[in-house]
Amino acid sequence: MSKYEVINTEYVTVTVSEDGKHIEIDLADDVKISRHQKQLKAYVDKLYNTGIKKINADQLSMPYLNKSLKLTRGKRRLDLVYYKDGRIHECEFKTRRECGLNITYNQIGEMKKHCQNFILLIPQSELIFVTDTIKNRKIKGVTVDTWDT
């Protein structure tokens, strides 16, 4: 069966089968999903699979995301918002590398001012370091949880 190339850019090539029933998307070799997005997607999938249905996540496209749940808080955007047991969970997701950055803690301090239930999601390996850093910086009103357990 013949294929027709319908879109071709430096980032992606999209081809459609002659009968229009099959689509192939090929990303260029240098286009990759970031570690942050990959882990966020896995966490969102996990939430959804445990029965949580009111979810929205930044920079992800999944059929079950509820885009009516706003991610903006103040001048920033959260990575994830979901409702569980009638309570909003407003989450910022950090990778191992991001846990060691000064800007992360500045961002947390600013974002938590605009949140009802701010949760910092981090890798298990960084739990002690991050909780100590938050305590030493006297940042209050932040729940720290892990995304990889």
> How many CB atoms within 10 Å of residue 10?
8
Residue 94, pLDDT score? 93
Residue 123, pLDDT score? 95
> What single DSSP character describes residue 100?
T
> What single DSSP character describes residue 66?
-
Phi and psi based region of residue 82 (left: phi greater than 0; alpha: psi -120 to 50; beta: remaining): beta
Instruction: Identify each DSSP E strand in 3-133 by its residue range.
Output: 3-8, 12-17, 23-27, 55-57, 72-73, 76-77, 80-84, 87-93, 118-122
Residue 49, pLDDT score? 95
pLDDT (tens place) for every residue of the chain, 149 residues total: 677 767 888 777 888 888 888 888 887 766 666 778 888 999 999 999 999 999 999 988 889 999 999 999 988 999 999 999 999 999 999 989 999 999 999 999 999 999 999 999 999 999 999 999 999 999 999 999 998 86
Backbone angles phi, psi at 131, to 5 degrees: -65, -40
The model's pTM is: 0.76
How far apart are the C-alpha atoms of 43 and 97, rounded to whole Å? 18
Name the one residue in this structure whose structure tokens are 């920033």. Answer: 76
